[in-house]
Amino acid sequence: MPNGTWILGDLLTKDYGHAGSIQKLWEQRWKFPCTKGVYPFHDGKFEDFEPIFQHLIANNINDPYDDAYTNTFLPTARRLAKEAESLESSNKKAATKLYLNANAVYRLARFPYIGTPLKKEVFEEQKSTYLRGSKLWDRPIEDISIAHNDAANGDGECIPLYIRTPAGAGPFPTILLITGLDGHRPDNTERTTEFLARGWACVICDIPGTTVDCLANRKDPVAPDRLFSSIFDFIKQRADLDEKKVVAWGLSAGGYYAIRLAHTHRECLKGSVGHGAGVHHFIGREWLENVGRHEYPFGLERAYVQKYGYDSFDELKEKCQDEFSLVSGKGDGVAVVGMGMPSCRLLLVNGVLDGCMPIEDSMILAEYGSPKEMRFVQDRFHMGYPEANGIVYPWLKEVMGS
């Protein structure tokens, strides 16, 4: 921070204690959420995960990028998927649940970043299993790849999307759900089901530099402008999606992109949500030097280096803020916030004690451009759960109906 102080205070440099220790992570942070089926265990079962983590602990496997870590999850994921397949014709409800259980285990196998050859294989296996299970739903996932008509500067030619729509002809109000660093297209069943219950369709996209099939140029700070231009063109062409009622919702690292397109593509949106979002400080040197100690389950250093395409964490600390900050980025058209560009309606939601994306990154938006709407949850960490969804959904309803 310019004045050397952070809202986190002493928590900025506090070591949360689980870095490098699967045992501490499981016993201090993850065991209880696993019993409740919440992040990152949604749709998983404690009885499936507990022996996996006991094996990791007993064998001193602490590096999530070690193939030994990933391989520990795979027998359980594959067993669940096989059991689900065997029940498809005789017990559709049980098969559906087992496919979701398998999906949860696959997610942890490829967690926290798809940064090894094995994790890439697991992600493909996860998608295949998830989509097979979704065919049993009343409203399944549509898995498509659209042409990236605005591709340039090393972008891939296609954009993978998941689409889920309510019953009927439409056109339906549409949520453009933008995923994060470790949560991707197959990890959003709960949200898409909530959208359907409200009569909304959903288009889900991954962000540059994360999944193996989002081929927007991770090194180009304005690549997302081209990516979303192609996605909005596609939405306009779909008769079942209402191009006049589109709201973006960016999750965690995806919040950065929701904020960016709220400015660059404001005419395409009724509103946008930056949920747990980074804007500027999150890629500054001081924050990055401390982020590995905070509440994120594993260090963010390796994931960030690969996501942004740098050669080392030292290079990222030196260059990333200058190249990607929406406030002070030096490239042409990068600093859409700092330039005072107007935005569509923009909601910022987060926990005040977020140790992944500093709350200052949401607050700084109030200093520029159009007025913003903000709701920060005291004494909560990254994303502001469990209160956050109770803030976002009413706002979405109001915006969609206006």
Phi-psi map region of 168: left, alpha, beta (phi>0 left; psi -120 to 50 alpha) = left
Active-site option among 252, 272, 325, 362 = 252
Sign of CA dihedral 325, 328, 331, 333: positive
Closest C-alpha among 194, 162, 252 to residue 393: 194
Q: Please count the CA atoms within 13 angstroms of the CA of 149 that sit on its side-chain side.
A: 7
DSSP 141: P
DSSP secondary structure of 162-227: EEE--SSS--EEEEEEE--SS--GGG-HHHHHHHHHTT-EEEEEPPTTSSTT--S-TT-TTHHHHH
State how beta strands 158-164 and 201-205 pair.
antiparallel
Q: Which amino acid is at 349?
A: V
- Other CB atoms within a 10 A radius of the CB of residue 301 amount to 16
* Residues 8, 263, 376: CA angle, nearest 5 degrees: 25
Angle of helix 253-264 relative to helix 223-237, nearest 10 degrees?
Answer: 70
* Residues 277, 282, 288: CA angle, nearest 5 degrees: 145
42 annotated active-site? no
The total number of residues written for the chain in this structure:
402
150 annotated active-site? no
Closest C-alpha among 117, 120, 85, 124 to residue 101: 85
Give the helix, strand, coil percentages of the chain, each rounded to 5. Answer: 45, 15, 40
Which whole-number Å values give the CA distances from 351 to 256, 383, 391, in the listed order?
16, 6, 12
- Beta pairing partners, 378: none
Active-site option among 213, 354, 361, 362 = 354
Active-site option among 18, 275, 294, 382 = 382
Cis? peptide before 171, omega within 30° of 0: yes
252 annotated active-site? yes
DSSP secondary structure of 8-50: TGGGGT---S-TT-HHHIIIIIIHHHHHHT-TT-TT--HHHHH
Whether residue 178 contacts residue 205, with contact meaning beta carbons closer than 8 Å, is answered with yes
Catalytic residue numbers?
252, 354, 382
